[in-house]
Amino acid sequence: MLSVVNADGSTESGSLIDEIVREGARRMLAAALEAEVNHYIAELAAETDGAGRRLVVRNGHHRPRTVTTAAGPVEVAAPRVDDRRVDASTGERMRFSSKILPPWCRKSPRISEVLPLLYLHGLSSGDFVPALEQFLGSAAGLSPATVTRLTKQWSDDH
């Protein structure tokens, strides 16, 4: 996330609109994860053990983790599932794994795609427009003159 360092040393991170977008992204991601888990549990509701108890149930939430997205860092607590089913062929317990937010995911795949483009286009040729266009979705306001002006302004300030 970008931070602005003021003359007195204090920092500002983003603007109000950025905070609103991040909060919206966090809520949407949380709702999508809840819906995914609810669908998984509903599909397997008929599976029970010998005593008639469900084999697949909710089990709270994982610890919150930060995921880097195009909207910035978003903290999310993914729902947990207690899946007690056993695979008959291997003898191993079956596990729920989110297709939306896999356990290893710490950043959006789009972020991973853009970083090499920023490096290849920006650092090697000084042309940031193609890379930023991939990230921002449009080249509006990203002319070479604008990027050069902002770079000069930044270097003068620092």
Residue ranges covered by each domain of the chain: 1-107, 108-158
Task: Grade residue 73 by pLDDT with cuts at 50, 70 and 90.
Answer: confident
108-143 pLDDT, tens digit per residue, is: 777 766 666 666 666 566 666 666 665 565 655 556
Residue whose structure tokens are 């983790």: 65
Which stretch of DSSP H or E encloses residue 11? strand 11-13
Cα angle value 86/92/98 (rounded, 5°): 80
Q: Is the pLDDT of residue 147 over 70?
A: no
DSSP state of 86: B
pTM above 0.75, yes or no: no
Buried b (16+ CB within 10 A) or exposed e, 10-25: eeeeeeeeeeebbeeb
